Amino acid sequence: MAFCGNCGSNMAEDARFCTNCGRAVGQASAAPAPARPLEYSIQGDNLQVARIQLKPGQEIFAEAGKMVYKTANVRWETRMSGGTIGDKILGALRRTVMGESLFLTYFHCDGQGEVGFAGNYPGKITVFDLEPGRSVLAQRDAFILAETTVQLNVALVKKLGAGFFGGEGFILEKLTGPGKVFIHGGGDFVEFSLNMGEVLQVNTGCIVAFDESVAYDIEMVGGIKTAIFGGEGLFLATLTGPGRVIVQSMTLEKLRRELAPSRSGGDEHSPLGSLGGILGSED
């Protein structure tokens, strides 16, 4: 697989132009990575904020509604991604499928400025520093911000079982380098670096992100008795290395369920409740 020397997009071996940025193959261009490394810090415990220090010429884009603050000299504009009208429309449709807003917000400044971002519910923020052509897959609401050299696309889960029972459905976010990507998840994070062929089984809703090199599928584990009375369900996500995997301790669905007015309290699972979770729960 070939990659564009300007934006890092995947290209056909015989392509003459990049379909993403329009750069001719072989045309001289600057390195795709930003001239200056993006400076940032992540502060907080379970309500973390990503503080981004922008310099002249640097630009980032973020999911609408994720900004917490900015200095007065930072300018922002909301626009659709893509170089042509067709790309913009296609990008908007993809973002609708992902359950995200139609527009992305872009930030830049002439001098030095700062912007802060956070997730929509208590949790952690982690960063992927992607090389050109390298991709990471994330749950649909995980993306916060990235450098403008990063591509944000939809990834369809290839396995039928993963699509029906994977909690997040067929749709994942695919982010392709080069550049830094900031991802949010609920509660605390546990990170794994899987070796070739190493397998990790995870509650389907607890997956935050994983490298594209990691194989993802859904498998039935345990028996009916365990599923009904154990409260864990029939299916677990199976992740096979090599690659990095990030797991979250709290999902938004669990948080909603615990805060529901009809919640009776306690951690006990009734048989009927567990059976209902098998049929209807997203995690």
pLDDT, tens digit (0-9, with 9 covering 90-100), for 112-157:
999 999 998 889 999 999 999 999 999 888 899 999 999 988 876 6
User: How far is 124 from 118, CA to CA, in rounded Å?
Assistant: 9
Retrieve residue 176's tokens.
Answer: 């392709």
Amino acid 134: pLDDT? 94
Retrieve residue 31's tokens.
Answer: 């390195």
Retrieve residue 57's tokens.
Answer: 């010429």
Amino acid at 155: A
Residue 101 or residue 112, greater confidence: 112
Strand order of the β-sheet with 113-117 is 39-43, 49-54, 113-117, 67-70
Q: What percent of the chain has pLDDT over 90?
A: 40
Amino acid 169: pLDDT? 46
Residue 21 has pLDDT above 70, yes or no: no
Instruction: Tell me if residue 105 falls in helix, strand or coil.
Output: strand
Instruction: Tell me if residue 202 falls in helix, strand or coil.
Output: strand
User: How far is 253 from 257, CA to CA, in rounded Å?
Assistant: 6
* Mean predicted lDDT score pLDDT of the chain: 77
The residue count of the chain comes to: 283
Please give the model's pTM, rounded to 2 decimal places: 0.70
Retrieve residue 72's tokens.
Answer: 């007065």
What single DSSP character describes residue 149? T
Residue 31 banded pLDDT, cuts 50, 70, 90: very low
Name the one residue in this structure whose structure tokens are 């909603």. Answer: 256
Residue 10 banded pLDDT, cuts 50, 70, 90: low
Query: Is the separation of the CB atoms in 136 and 153 below 8 Å?
Result: no
Give 140: exposed, middle or buried? Use CB within 10 Å, 0-12, 13-18, 19+. middle
Amino acid 30: pLDDT? 45
Q: What percent of the chain has pLDDT over 70?
A: 61
Name the one residue in this structure whose structure tokens are 């380098």. Answer: 177
- Averaged pLDDT, 1-9: 59
CA distances from 99 to 33, 87, 113, 172, 180 (A): 29, 18, 31, 10, 22
